């Protein structure tokens, strides 16, 4: 007989399967190649993308057959429209393209959120900011009739609203200056702040190798990290299901699920 815990675990397992593209199991030779890569380098910068989050049940956009681009005609909101694997001290920093703060929850430190965080909401005009959790309470108080619409998980937090719901939606404004509020996320079409770009460049220069996990490097803000690394003669390894934008310039490429290979790598160090 299924109990509540079993059903919950099944749902989590199903979500993980549903959002992870087809992939081959890890090859023993691939594991050994990555073990050797990590053993040879003492200052490894880790770059992560959506492939880390999809294995935790959070969908991405681009994955073949399972990403939102493939499963629907949903497209991400444009900025203009809006206007845990610690590797024995080898990891100098983690640069993540994700906005879900899973690395923080896993206990990682020295994290640069390249595209910001979905956990903070900021005013577009003044310094006011608020936690996404607190703002959600305001949203629900203002729009109690839309509670059922907040069930669909999407990479950028979008939900579908009918024309009627959209016209009646009560949007919270900044309590300080009554200007629009925006999640602290770099939306498609927006630019990464210059200070953050320089912080990333500094971390790339300080490392001696880059290990990219679960990213196709389609977005230029992440791809230029690899370009800089190769210009500085750094060794780059990529662990990702499917092709990436940098496959023709990197040193090591392993195509399989991150969760199937990272635990073994960590245990070996």
* Catalytic residue ranges: 115
**In degrees, to the nearest 5, what angle opens at C-alpha 52 toward C-alphas 269 and 251?**
60
Task: For residue 82, give both structure tokens.
Answer: 């809006």
The closest of 102, 96, 141, 95 to 119, measured between CA atoms, is 102
The closest of 58, 91, 98, 84 to 222, measured between CA atoms, is 98
* Helix, strand, or coil (residue 161): coil
* Helix runs in 177-257, H state only: 194-206, 220-231
Question: What is the DSSP code (8-state) at residue 229?
Answer: H
CA distance 116 to 181: 15
């Amino acid at each position: 007989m299924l109990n509540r815990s079993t059903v919950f675990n099944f749902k989590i397992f199903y979500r993980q399967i549903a959002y992870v593209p087809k992939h081959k199991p890890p090859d023993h030779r691939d594991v050994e190649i990555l073990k050797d890569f990590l053993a040879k380098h003492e200052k490894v910068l880790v770059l992560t993308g959506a492939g880390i989050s999809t294995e935790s049940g959070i969908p991405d956009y681009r994955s073949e057959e399972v990403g939102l681009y493939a499963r629907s005609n949903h497209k991400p909101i444009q900025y203009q429209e809006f206007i845990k694997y610690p590797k024995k001290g080898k990891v100098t920093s983690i640069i993540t393209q994700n906005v879900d703060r899973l690395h923080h929850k896993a206990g990682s430190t020295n994290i640069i959120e390249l595209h910001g965080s979905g956990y903070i909401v900021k005013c577009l005009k003044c310094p006011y900011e608020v936690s996404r959790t607190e703002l959600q309470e305001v949203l629900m108080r203002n729009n109690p009739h839309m509670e059922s619409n907040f069930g669909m998980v999407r990479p950028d937090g979008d939900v579908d609203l009918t024309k009627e719901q959209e016209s009646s939606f009560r949007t919270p404004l900044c309590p300080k200056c009554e200007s629009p509020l925006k999640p602290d996320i770099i939306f498609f079409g927006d630019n990464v702040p210059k200070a953050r770009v320089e912080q990333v460049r500094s971390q790339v220069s300080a490392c001696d190798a880059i290990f990219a996990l679960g990213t196709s490097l389609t977005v230029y803000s992440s791809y230029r990290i690899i370009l800089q690394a190769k210009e500085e003669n750094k060794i780059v390894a990529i662990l990702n299901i499917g092709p990436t934008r940098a496959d023709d310039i990197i040193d090591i490429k392993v195509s399989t699920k991150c969760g199937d290979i990272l635990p073994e790598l960590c245990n070996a160090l």
